[in-house]
Amino acid sequence: MADNARAKKLADLIREVVAQKLQRGIKDPRLGSHVTITDTRVTGDLREATVFYTVYGDDEDRENAARGLESAKGVLRSAVGAAAGVKFTPTLTFVADALPETAKTIEDLLDKARASDAQVRQASSGATYAGDADPYKKPEDDDEGAASA
């Protein structure tokens, strides 16, 4: 079992090698400049690596990129093996990163909250209090109430 520092170093190396190979070494048109490697994680035994990626474009571009990465998996693994110099080159699994969609969802929710806050602010701009200016009883009020009773 490898230590976490070694797994992190290997994950960083895999991320760099895969990104460089996608940018310069693979001629597949499905893997254009719109594919970005966002993160890489390696298991503790250094046998499996998960590569997270994002694709800028529509759903068809995402599907094409996924198919392109699957077809280029062997070439990418060979490049990782040559660069890493480890006894066993980890198998690569490509997973679409959900971070951009999650960030967009959060931004949409924040926009709705801002709009709701603006509506409340606008509705309360000319409002006045429903009761007295100071609705709390004071000790002298209690004395007056007891004296009149």
Spell out the long-range contacts of 51-60 with Cβ–Cβ below 8 A and sequence spacing 24 or more. 51/14, 51/15, 51/18, 51/92, 51/93, 51/94, 51/95, 52/95, 52/96, 52/97, 53/94, 53/95, 53/96, 53/97, 54/96, 54/97, 54/99, 54/100, 55/96
What's the pLDDT score for residue 114? 93
Q: For domain 4-102, give the CATH number.
A: 3.30.300.20
One pLDDT digit (tens) per residue for the chain, 149 residues: 556 888 899 999 999 999 888 888 777 777 766 888 889 999 988 899 999 998 887 888 888 888 888 888 888 889 998 888 888 989 999 998 877 778 888 999 999 999 999 998 888 887 777 776 677 777 775 555 555 55
Q: How many alpha carbons lie under 13 Å from residue 6 in its C-beta half-sphere?
A: 11
The domain spans of the chain are 4-102
What's the pLDDT score for residue 110? 94
What's the pLDDT score for residue 124? 82
What's the pLDDT score for residue 125? 83
62, 63, 71: which is closest to 28 by C-alpha?
71
